[in-house]
Structure 1
Amino acid sequence: MRTRYGAGPVHLLAMVGCFALAAYAGVRLLDARPLAVAIWFTAAVVAHDLVLFPLYTLADRSAQAVLRRRAPAPTLWINHLRVPVLLSGLLLLVWFPLIFQLSGFYTAVTALPAEVYLGRWLLVTGVLFTGSAAILAGRLLRARPARDIGGRGPTGAGHDVRRGRSPS
């Protein structure tokens, strides 16, 4: 199966389950409010393709240019910036009516005051960036070459390893 499908049977089962769940959700949404779903889908496609994609492509290329000039390992740094930005942006996109207090309906359903969402989103964003920075720091420390106490390299610059003394 792996040679014909490209993955194992568990992957195939998971994909079939995901598609079945998406189809169920789509049927339920289209049964309830087909015009609203069509408008939302069209607006989402237009907003993403014509507005958001060019903006985040420009931001990503700008970050890459800055990191290429200033960071010691720019390819290592960029994903530690991309992941928290992506997750934070996705949370903002999903919850923006509550974060910016644009909807009274959802606050009535959740029974939470509208003022808590902005602070919680900022807290989650801070945790995402802090966690990503901690992981990056760990990876940079692990990738650093071993140094002696003086910090001059693995053998201590100027130290003669064979004789056990420094040349003076």
Structure 2
Amino acid sequence: MRAAVERFRAVYGSHPLHLLTLIAGFALFGYVVAIIRPVTLWNPNAWWQSMLVWFAAAIIAHDLVLFPLYALADRILVAASRIRPRSTASVSPLNYVRVPALSAALTLLVFLPGIIQQGARTYAAATGQTQEPFLGRWLLLTAAMFAVSAVLYAVRLVLARRAKRPPG
């Protein structure tokens, strides 16, 4: 069995599960395209509310604006991590910054309508509450994620320094 998988990997370039996942993804995409109609994608009464417009705007905003910005931020972070003195332990801080930053960005994306109080009347009618605490809670969650990451980094630094210390 391993020989067959290795032959497949040599021809295809990846594991057979990769091909299976691609086929399943394209099948799902084909199903969605077959089910939805153009009316679903385009709103002739208010063109800016159309799914197609928002999808295109999301692609443009991400690929032309956001990706270069966070790629630049990551390059700066990588360059800054190379400048540290040799006396510090060999624990890279990169992932201890990347993980909470990505988590904060994803939670902002999920809760942005509540943070900017979009649909405040509908939310108040449905829940009897306001959307005022959303921003503060997101900021607290972000601070907590960075704090936990900083504590984990500090623990990792201590463990690395202890491992480097000669016994005696």
> TM-score interval w.r.t. the shorter chain?
0.5 to 0.7
Cα 1:144/1:7, change in 2 over 3 Å: farther
Give the TM-score of the pair, scaled to structure 1: 0.66
Report which of the two structures shows the higher radius of gyration computed on alpha carbons: 1
Q: In structure 2, what is the Cα distance between the partners aligned to 1:105 and 1:33?
A: 26
Q: What secondary structure is seen at the aligned counterpart in 1 of 2:118? A: coil
Q: What secondary structure is seen at the aligned counterpart in 1 of 2:83? A: helix
* Identical-residue share of aligned pairs (%): 39
Q: 1:62 corresponds to which residue? A: 76
Mean Cα deviation higher: 109-118 or 76-85: 109-118
Q: In structure 2, what is the Cα distance between the partners aligned to 1:32 and 1:109?
A: 30
Q: Describe how 1:102-117 pairs up with structure 2 within 5 A.
A: 102-104=118-120, 107-108=123-124, 111=127, 112-117=129-134
Mean Cα deviation higher: 86-95 or 63-72: 63-72
Counterpart check, 1:100 vs 2:116? yes
Q: 1:39 corresponds to which residue? A: 53
Mean Cα deviation higher: 95-104 or 50-59: 95-104
Q: Describe how 1:9-88 pairs up with structure 2 within 5 A.
A: 16=24, 20=28, 33-35=40-42, 36-70=50-84, 72=88, 76-88=92-104
Give the TM-score of the pair, scaled to structure 2: 0.66
Q: Shift in Å at residue 47 of structure 1?
A: 0.3
The runs of at least 4 consecutive aligned structure 1 residues that moved more than 4 Å come to 1-5, 22-32
Number of aligned residues: 149
Contact 1:67 1:74 in 2 (8 A): no
Which segments of 5 or more consecutive residues in structure 2 lack a partner in the other structure?
Answer: 9-13, 43-49
Q: Which has the higher contact order (CA 8 A, sep 6+)?
A: 2
Q: What secondary structure is seen at the aligned counterpart in 1 of 2:92? A: helix
